[in-house]
A and B are shown apart, each in its own frame.
Chain A
């Protein structure tokens, strides 16, 4: 593998294979990556990072394709990272997000990368964040991170983005689904896709009614709810407008601070896990916990070393 600094220079100069190989190094947590990270972040142009998440089958890939069409019409260069789950048993994955994106395959101003989540040890949230930094360094803006909104790590990926778009469908269930905590709460923009289906307006109304501000206990105002039909492009231009508009709100000091806290929390957790799992004691400590000789919290403290005081 080529030197990472060289790959970064190539990526910044528009060499697509260099960018692709830099992304591989990020994915594989290649040796020397952490030394190159400051340079990758410094080479960025402050691209708008947009997370797109939602349940499987809600039309995220089709919507990303439609959004890409619209941004390309507006002369923007679009970077995409699409995350799919790895099998916890075999480590394998099938990534099919390109199927909807092949119209853009030969467009030099669209770059799409599929990423498998590779389990928690790999730190997929951190990897996608670094990948978006690499795409930023290569001059793509906006950068879309598409994930399956199936679990906590996907929500975390969304929270690292500046603007989080949650995609739902009319058939998402009754209104109780809409008041459940979780995915909907992290949305900056809520999209009801498949707007041509019966019940789409009703679903949007339910969401609007349910996403209250919890009697003033949640400071952020409820997200706008938008109706799209990704297959026809209906509502997509308005969604692009809304995402672009959200960019400045996302960079307000309050939001930037909240995001920085999430990013730091994530980075700290990854770092601690990385250090501890490379520690020679790891297997012993795991076994002690398995045998109930020690509780997991004390074991974690043992791996991280004593707490600093003062």
Chain B
């Protein structure tokens, strides 16, 4: 066994995160940097690529049974798309899935998004470490 970093007692399972880009953004550098950063923090990251509808995101979250959905959005359509993702996920019984957002989102909208069920909004300048810590602290615990 070449794996020196994990002992056999360490049976905790990695947190599964879906990183998705809803809407018509044309670039996903931020989402990819986050995906790689979270991988290095020990998360299992499922990345779906650009231009996803809320239905596609909810469907992917359901099939992958993720603990966290991270939505990256830069287009300004967050007030339409993000609450819709939350609504679809809850409708499908994903009550305990943490849904967070990042990107260019004005402060004035953050409160409304939180009311709509977005757990946290990460703006520019947030470090990967902060996001990882937040996910670890708030993702559901598995049996």
Given contacts A92-B43, A94-B45, A99-B48, contact A16 B38 (CB under 8 A): no
Q: Select one of B1, B6, B56, B93 contacting A17, CB under 8 A.
A: B93
A288 located at the interface, meaning its Cβ lies under 8 Å from any Cβ of chain B in the complex: no
**Restricting to A100-153, which residues have a CB under 8 Å from any CB of B?**
102, 105-106, 111-114, 116, 118-121
Q: Select one of A17, A23, A119 contacting B92, CB under 8 A.
A: A17
B interface secondary structure, majority: loop
Contact partners of A30 in chain B: CB under 8 A: 143
Q: Are A90 and B64 in contact (CB under 8 A)?
A: no
Q: Closest CB of chain A to B41's CB: distance in Å?
A: 6
B94 located at the interface, meaning its Cβ lies under 8 Å from any Cβ of chain A in the complex: yes
Q: Mark B56-89, 1 if CB is under 8 A from A, else 0.
A: 1001101111000000000000000000000000
Contact partners of B13 in chain A: CB under 8 A: 27-28
Q: Are A92 and B63 in contact (CB under 8 A)?
A: no
Given contacts A88-B3, A106-B55, contact A116 B142 (CB under 8 A): no
28 A-B pairs within 8 Å (CB atoms) are namely A20-B63, A21-B65, A24-B65, A27-B13, A86-B14, A86-B44, A88-B3, A91-B5, A91-B6, A92-B14, A92-B42, A92-B44, A93-B39, A94-B36, A94-B39, A95-B47, A96-B46, A98-B46, A98-B60, A99-B47, A105-B48, A105-B55, A106-B55, A113-B63, A116-B14, A119-B6, A120-B1, A121-B6
Q: Closest CB of chain B to A246's CB: distance in Å?
A: 27
A277 located at the interface, meaning its Cβ lies under 8 Å from any Cβ of chain B in the complex: yes
In the bound assembly, the distance between CA atoms of A223 and B63 in angstroms comes to 34
Given contacts A92-B41, A98-B49, contact A113 B5 (CB under 8 A): no
In the A-B complex, the 9 residue pairs with the closest CB atoms? A20-B65, A92-B39, A99-B49, A105-B56, A1-B143, A90-B42, A92-B42, A24-B65, A277-B8
Q: Closest CB of chain B to A269's CB: distance in Å?
A: 13
Q: Closest CB of chain B to A9's CB: distance in Å?
A: 15
The total number of A-B Cβ pairs within 8 Å is: 111
Q: Select one of B2, B45, B59, B62 contacting A88, CB under 8 A.
A: B2
A232 located at the interface, meaning its Cβ lies under 8 Å from any Cβ of chain B in the complex: no
Q: Are B60 and A105 in contact (CB under 8 A)?
A: yes
Find the A residue at minimum CB distance from B2: A88
Q: Are B62 and A93 in contact (CB under 8 A)?
A: no
A87 located at the interface, meaning its Cβ lies under 8 Å from any Cβ of chain B in the complex: yes
**Restricting to A8-32, which residues have a CB under 8 Å from any CB of B?**
16-17, 20-21, 23-24, 27-28, 30-31
Q: CB within 8 Å of B: which residues of A? A: 1, 16-17, 20-21, 23-24, 27-28, 30-31, 86-96, 98-99, 102, 105-106, 111-114, 116, 118-121, 277-278, 282-283
In the bound assembly, the distance between CA atoms of A61 and B49 in angstroms comes to 13
B121 located at the interface, meaning its Cβ lies under 8 Å from any Cβ of chain A in the complex: no
Residue in A1, A20, A86, A111 with the greatest tally of chain B CB atoms within 10 Å: A20
Contact partners of B47 in chain A: CB under 8 A: 94-96, 98-99
A interface secondary structure, majority: mixed
Given contacts A94-B35, A119-B6, contact A17 B65 (CB under 8 A): yes
Find the B residue at minimum CB distance from A279: B8
In the bound assembly, the distance between CA atoms of A277 and B93 in angstroms comes to 36
In the bound assembly, the distance between CA atoms of A91 and B46 in angstroms comes to 14
Find the B residue at minimum CB distance from A96: B47
In the bound assembly, the distance between CA atoms of A116 and B44 in angstroms comes to 7
Q: Select one of B7, B45, B48, B53 contacting A93, CB under 8 A.
A: B45
Q: Mark B13-50, 1 if CB is under 8 A from A, else 0.
A: 11000000000000000000001101111111111110
Given contacts A1-B143, A92-B14, A94-B36, contact A105 B59 (CB under 8 A): yes
